[in-house]
Amino acid sequence: MNEILDKIKQKYSAEDVKVQRTGLAFVTVNKDVALDAVTWLRDYEGYSHFVMMSCVDWIEDGKFQLLYLLHNPVTKTDVGVKTLINRDNPAMTSGHHLWKQVWTYQRELKEAFGIDFPGSPRVDENFVVEGWVDIPHMRRDFNTKEYSEETYFPRPGRETHDPATYMREQLYPNQPVTAKRKDNDK
Amino acid sequence: MTVYVKFGYTLLGLLIVLNWGFLMGATFRKIGARVAGRYGIPFYQPWLNLLKNISTRTTITHGVMYYIGPVFRLTGGVGLFLFMPMVFTGDPAGLWTNYSFEGDLILILYFQVFGMLGMALGAGQGGHPYSAMGIARGLAQHAAVELPLTLAFLSIAIQYDTFSVYKIVEAQQGGMMNWVLFTNPFAAVTIILAMLGAMGHSPFNLVKAPNEILIGPATEFEGTYLGFMQSAGSILHVMEAVLFMNLVFGGATSWIELIVKTFLIYFWSVFVGMVFPRFKIEQSVTWFFKVPLLLGFLAIIIYSF
Amino acid sequence: MSEKDMNYKVSQMLKRSETNVSNAKKSFVRPEDEEREVVAPDGSIMKVNPIYDYFSGKRPEEEKPKNGIVEKFLNWARAESIWVLGFGTGCGSIEIPPLVTPRFDMFRFGVQMRPTPRQSNAFIISGYLSVKTLKRVIRTYEQMPSPKYILALGSCTINGGMYYDSYSTINRLDKYIPVDVYIAGCMPRPEALLAGFMKLKELIKAGKAEKANEYARNFDEYKANQKKIIKDWNMPDYNW
């Protein structure tokens, strides 16, 4: 494991190498060499199983963080390759030639975050939501509650109660609250 | 006896057959429920379903054949009834012999396919892909059923030297040992096996398999058309049972006997269906081409010499 | 799959995504369904609009009930023979299968499942409804023959339930299709569903379950609400 991490550091000048636990490590590499690193891990180091690909929205830094998680079925270890891309006009080199399931992940990311993967097959088709015209719905600046209230006719009169307090008020209004109960309420 | 009296009795017979068919259908559902440990539908549910279907307000159309499909199916059932002697009274022109005549066995064979073909045309115009699948499966299976069935019919016809159902019934009178079941066992066993396919219950119900291809040929039919088709289905079920009763089990000398015998014949297929799961279409076709077809050939060969 | 087939498939898919990009992005109608001019075999040019040529664009009409005792009799038959469409929309659809098991057995009450919308007259909206499913629900509902009834199951159909702030699920079902009976709960037990069927029977017998006519009467309002949230409207306004 550590050998591989050292090699990645040397070959792709990886930063922020973090071993999460035995058999799981994350590295952050530059956007330009991220797919090279993934390809190298797949072809030379035996990380042939593509687990998943996901995205984190770092809105304060103006960055999207992409994660390619790979698994080695022989040594039973995982390596996550992270990379940061710009939040304005986000685009990333497509990895559809590496695994077929990457197509679907890239389609999902295109719909949910608006990240473009030029050349990826069917990347412009709907993934989950049909006919979406607003900003991509998984971005953090999209306010889902506001959107729901504007669009879906909220029924007035909706209120929320803490179940423990509400039940006590309704069922045993005269009973004093004991110290023990107070602790439980936390 | 005038023509009108005969006509009236025939209509009355049709009414009895229709209601008996509904009751048998309900009993079939009830037995299915009991096997599953449920209480099941009330016995009058089919009549309510018919009323509800007729009272549907919307009707859609897919063209002329779409209308004619259910009518063809009903014609198949009613035609089967019209030329079938129901109750043996000793008089060839008796009250309950309907319009049977010399050679009606051939006509009855034709009417068995008639409803199926009508459905094929109607459902084909409905345009639903599942209808077409149901029809394709239905016709394939029907061809496989008809082959052993026809061989057995011919064997019985050769045995009694007649194509009249009435005469076949007449020849079987006078005790159980005169039934075709005992005088021509190969033909009888062929019919008893092929009957399972003709009734269309569980091992051979891929035609309308509700979990796989919706409801098969009837997918696009609604309201009154569906009511028509359910009535036709009930009549067809009873008439198939009456046909096999006449050919193999010695006919009936009264309505009570008819009801008891058709009930037992119908429920032979129902009980088999309760026990055995559904066949795939290639399985069911090959099943009919094995034992029933072989027995049918044997029945023919024995009576040809 | 051989290498050659694989390459062909990839090239086809690439081609498809390219055409998708080149088409106007905001039009959701599929290219083969767009209104266009075609050249007939005899050389004349004719206009085709596949959506309205394949499906009827006719508006629904109100269908008046029959008079007095006849309608009462028919309503009794309808109430005792409710055919439910087998269509699960959300998590509540898992509450329907127990109804056909020995424990709850809805067949006792004349309630039966039916696999096709053409033959069913009750529709259980089981739980939360995403916009994507709503589109299918509307198509299916409009294909059912009148009189038709809707049972809305779970609090998600009433006010959005726990998904009230979701960007993809609706909050109030009755803004989009008329609802006969609401069954509250998250999730309602099968007994509650049976109670809902009993309530529906009462309504039908009293002649109050005429929501299909209400849908026809307020058709424009319902359509406006539906089109407000279904942005990719690529079907006719009324599906027979």
Helix and strand numbers (H, E) in chain B are: 12, 0
At residue B15 the predicted structure's pLDDT band, cuts being 50, 70 and 90, is: very high
Q: What is the pLDDT of residue B189?
A: 92
C240 found inside a domain: no
B and A interact (at least 3 Cβ pairs within 8 A): no
- Residue type at B33? A
Contact state of B57 with C146 under an 8 Å Cβ cutoff: yes
**Would you say residue C146 lies in a domain?**
yes
Which residue in chain B has the smallest CA separation from C70? B55
Domain residues for the domain of C115 are 68-229
Contacts of B123 in chain C (CB under 8 A): none
Question: Quick one: B280 exposed, middle or buried, by C-beta within 10 A (0-12, 13-18, 19+)?
Answer: exposed
Asked if the model's pLDDT at residue B151 lies above 70, the reply is yes
Cβ neighbours for B297, distance < 8 A, ≥ 6 positions apart: B151
- Is the pLDDT score of C18 beyond 60? no
Nearest CB to C147: which of B37, B57, B220? Answer: B57
Q: Which residues of B touch C118 (CB under 8 A)?
A: 60, 219-222
**Residue C101 located in a structural domain:** yes
Residue A41's pLDDT band, with cuts at 50, 70 and 90, is very high
- Tell whether B40 is within 8 A of chain C (Cβ): yes
Mutate: best of A146, A151, A153, A160, partner C, most C CBs <10 A: A153
Which residues in chain C have Cβ-Cβ distances shorter than 8 Å to A158? 159, 164
Count of CA atoms in the C-beta half-sphere (13 A) of B161: 0
Interface touch B57/C74, C-beta < 8 Å: no
> Above 60 in pLDDT, residue C15?
no
Q: How confident is the model at residue C24 (pLDDT cuts 50, 70, 90)?
A: very low
pLDDT-derived band at C194 (thresholds 50, 70, 90) equals: very high
At residue C65, the pLDDT reads 84
Note the pLDDT of residue B214.
Answer: 66
Mean pLDDT (whole number) for A111-134:
87
CB contact under 8 A, B48 and C114: no
Residue C23 confidence (pLDDT):
43
Place of tokens 């599953």: B36
Q: Are C135 and B69 in contact (CB under 8 A)?
A: no
pLDDT beyond 50 at C19: no
How many angstroms separate the CA of residue B239 from the nearest CA in chain C?
Answer: 26
- C206 in contact with A at a CB cutoff of 8 Å? no
* Cβ pair A29, A18 in contact under 8 A: no
Residue from C119, C146, C238 whose CB has the most chain B CBs within 10 Å, to mutate: C119
Per-residue model confidence (pLDDT) at position A106: 93
Mean pLDDT (chain C, rounded): 84
Query: Does C30 map to a domain?
Result: no
pLDDT(C9) > 70? no
Asked if C78's CB is within 8 angstroms of B29's CB, the reply is no
CB contacts of A130 in chain C (<8 Å) are: 131-132, 135, 230-232
pLDDT digits (tens, 9 = 90+) for B163-220: 888 888 888 888 888 898 888 889 999 999 998 888 888 788 877 766 666 677 777 8
Whether the per-residue pLDDT at B283 is higher than 80: the answer is yes
What is the set of domains in chain A, with CATH numbers? 2-159 (3.30.460.80)
> Which of A129, A137, A158 lies nearest to residue C159, judging by beta carbons?
A158
Instruction: Kindly report the CATH number assigned to the domain that includes residue C206.
Output: 3.40.50.12280
For tokens 């009873």, what's the residue? B238
- Helix, coil or strand: residue C54: helix
The enclosing H or E element of A70 equals strand A63-72
Q: Indicate yes or no: CB of A154 within 8 angstroms of CB of C28.
A: no
Percent of chain C with pLDDT over 70: 86
In angstroms, the CA B112 to CA B241 distance is 12
* Cβ atoms < 10 Å from Cβ of C36: 11
C115-135 pLDDT tens trace: 888 889 999 998 888 999 999
Q: How far apart are CA B60 and CA B286, in angstroms?
A: 39
Work out the average pLDDT over C138-149: 90
Rounded mean pLDDT of B130-149?
87
| Average pLDDT for C56-68 | 81
- Dihedral through CA B283, CA B284, CA B285, CA B290, nearest 10? 90
User: What was the pLDDT predicted at C26?
Assistant: 57
Q: What integer best gives the mean pLDDT of chain A?
A: 88
Q: For residues B249-274, give the mean pLDDT.
A: 89
Q: Is residue C209 part of a domain?
A: yes
Q: Per the structure block, which two tokens stand in for A35?
A: 């797919």
Give residue A77's pLDDT: 93
The mean of the pLDDT values for chain B is 86
pLDDT over 80 at C161, yes or no: yes
| Inter-axis angle of helices B185-199 and B129-160, nearest 10 | 160
Interface B-C, measured as beta-carbon pairs within 8 A, has a size of: 79
Q: Please compute the mean of the pLDDT values over residues B266-282 and round it to a whole number.
A: 87
- What ipTM does the predicted assembly reach? 0.83
* Strand partners of residue C181: C151
Q: Is A27 helix (H, G, I), strand (E, B) or coil?
A: strand
pLDDT band of residue C150 (cuts 50, 70, 90) is very high
pLDDT recorded at residue B32: 87
C232 touches chain A (CB under 8 A): yes
What's the pLDDT score for residue A178?
63
pLDDT at position B212, please?
65
Share of chain B above pLDDT 70, in %: 98
**pLDDT on residue B211:** 62
**Residue C82 Cα, gap to closest chain B Cα (Å):** 9
- Tokens matching residue B87: 């109750």
Q: Where are the beta strands (DSSP E) in chain B?
A: none
Q: Which of C118, C140, C142, C215 to mutate to test the interface with B (most CBs of B within 10 A)?
A: C118
| Preceding amide of B274 cis, omega within 30 | no
Binning pLDDT at 50, 70 and 90, where does residue A75 land?
A: very high
| Residue whose structure tokens are 């390459």 | C7
pLDDT value at A61 more than 70: yes
**Can you give the pLDDT at residue A172?**
86
Residue A133 in contact with partner chain C when CB distance is under 8 A: yes
Chain C environment of A151 (Cβ under 8 Å): 228-229
Contacts of C136 (CB under 8 A, 6+ apart): none
Quick check: is C59 in a domain? no
C210 to chain B: closest CA residue = B57
Residues 127-156 of C with CB under 8 A from A: 131-132, 135
pLDDT for C114:
86
Please tell me the total count of domains within chain C: 1
Asked if C116 and B55 come within 8 Å (Cβ–Cβ), the reply is: no
Query: Is C6 contained in some domain?
Result: no
Q: What pLDDT is stored for residue B102 in this prediction?
A: 84
| Packing angle, helices B223-248 and B104-126, rounded to 10 | 160
Q: Which residue has the tokens 């299909």?
A: C212
Whole-number percent of chain C with pLDDT over 90? 28
Range C141-166 average pLDDT: 89
